[in-house]
């Protein structure tokens, strides 16, 4: 029979030691989005309502294409991390793990389809 202290039982059962890194990643991506979203809105707003040929010409230039791609990539990464944090806090067990997998797949699918669409427009 083992006699373990409460601390000894808790070792290895607690935090995954990634909370600080996750917090900093969320802070950095939110600051990046503070810069990228207004740039994206201004670029997208300038071409909104234009013909297909004008949109292709607009996104063939590097600046609008890079801003749109970075906004999609950083936005979906921020969404995935924030949703994962909320799911970990409120949903436990198998449902939580499946929800995290679903959110991760959704975020990467949206980013992938968006960047692929931008590449098709730009090239």
Q: What is the pLDDT of residue 17?
A: 62
The domain total for the chain is 1
Q: From CA 43, how far away is CA 39, in angstroms rounded?
A: 6
User: What are the structure tokens assigned to 120, written together?
Assistant: 């098709």
Domain that holds residue 51: 21-122
Q: Is the pTM of this model over 0.95?
A: no
Asked whether residue 10 is assigned to any structural domain, the reply reads: no
Asked whether residue 14 is assigned to any structural domain, the reply reads: no
Asked whether residue 2 is assigned to any structural domain, the reply reads: no
Asked whether residue 13 is assigned to any structural domain, the reply reads: no
pLDDT above 90 (res 71): yes
Task: Find the angle CA(99)-CA(101)-CA(106) to the nearest 5 degrees.
Answer: 95
Asked whether residue 61 is assigned to any structural domain, the reply reads: yes
Nearest to 64 by CA among 122, 1, 6, 123: 122
Cα torsion 12, 14, 20, 21: sign? positive
Asked whether residue 80 is assigned to any structural domain, the reply reads: yes
pLDDT above 60 (res 13): no
More confident of the two residues 16 and 24: 24
| CATH code (residue 113) | 1.20.1300
Q: From CA 95, how far away is CA 99, in angstroms rounded?
A: 6
Asked whether residue 69 is assigned to any structural domain, the reply reads: yes
For residue 61, the SS3 value is coil
Asked whether residue 4 is assigned to any structural domain, the reply reads: no
pLDDT band at 12 (very low <50, low <70, confident <90, very high): low
Q: What is the DSSP string of 28-59?
A: HHHHHHHHHHHHHHHHHHHHTT--HHHHHHHH
């Amino acid at each position: 029979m083992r006699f373990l202290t409460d601390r000894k039982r808790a070792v290895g059962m607690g935090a995954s030691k990634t909370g600080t890194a996750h917090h900093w990643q969320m802070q950095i991506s939110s600051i990046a989005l503070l810069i990228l979203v207004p740039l994206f809105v201004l670029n997208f707003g300038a071409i909104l309502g234009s013909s297909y040929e004008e949109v292709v010409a607009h996104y063939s230039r590097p600046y609008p294409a890079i801003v749109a791609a970075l906004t999609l990539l950083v936005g979906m990464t921020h969404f995935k991390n924030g949703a994962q944090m909320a799911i970990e806090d409120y949903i436990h067990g198998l449902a939580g793990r499946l929800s995290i997998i679903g959110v991760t797949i959704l975020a990467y699918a949206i980013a992938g389809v968006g960047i692929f669409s931008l590449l098709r427009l730009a090239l």
